[in-house]
Amino acid sequence: MDAVTLANALTALVPECGAEPIEAIDQPTIVVPVSHLVAVATALRDAPELRFPLLVDIVGVDFLPRQPRFELNYHLVSPDRDQPLRLRVKVRVSGDDPHVPTVTAVWPGAGFLEREVWDLLGVTFDGHPDLRRLLTPDDWEGHPLRKDYPVQVKIPVRTDEPIQLTQEEFQANLRNDRQARGRTGA
């Protein structure tokens, strides 16, 4: 099933959703408005012709200075097919006051994924049952994956030199490794 077919199926189930298929090289991708995210998620999970019961990940991206600033990518899988089908659902969110409805009622596993996006990007998930820090300390200020987040590390850059081996040393290491594994050869 391609993105156009999926978008048409969604539009038939949720007529006002305005699902828009977009080009992607790896998997079908559709864009839906934030206001219809929960209805689209429910249709994707429950409709017999779609059957996407598995939310694998939610990835947030900051496109500062572009508006809408944020893009959330919901990665779904429909495993109950001859060939499992993957789908990416994109939601674009304004940077002024980023709010998205939670999908924890549709996919309970979204809880931790939404907490991670909120913690690192500051996108608020309205209705989330436990929206609090996940990866940063509780007293952390700001959201470190935002492109306008101030860099606070004042440690000088350190580089390491790669180990330099002669060709003979390299070949000797290979021979020793093969002998240790019970193989022979040069």
Q: Could you read off the pLDDT of 104-117 as tens digits, one per residue? A: 999 999 999 999 99
Per-residue confidence (pLDDT) for residue 162, from 0 to 100: 66
Per-residue confidence (pLDDT) for residue 1, from 0 to 100: 82
Q: What is the DSSP string of 17-51?
A: G--EEE--SSS-EEE--GGGHHHHHHHHHH-TTT-
Q: CATH homologous superfamily of domain 3-177? A: NADH:ubiquinone oxidoreductase Nqo5 subunit (3.30.460.80)
N residues, the chain: 186
Listed as ranges, residues in the chain with pLDDT below 50 are: 186
Per-residue confidence (pLDDT) for residue 87, from 0 to 100: 95
| Neighbouring C-alpha atoms within 13 Å toward the C-beta of 14 | 23
pTM of the prediction?
0.79
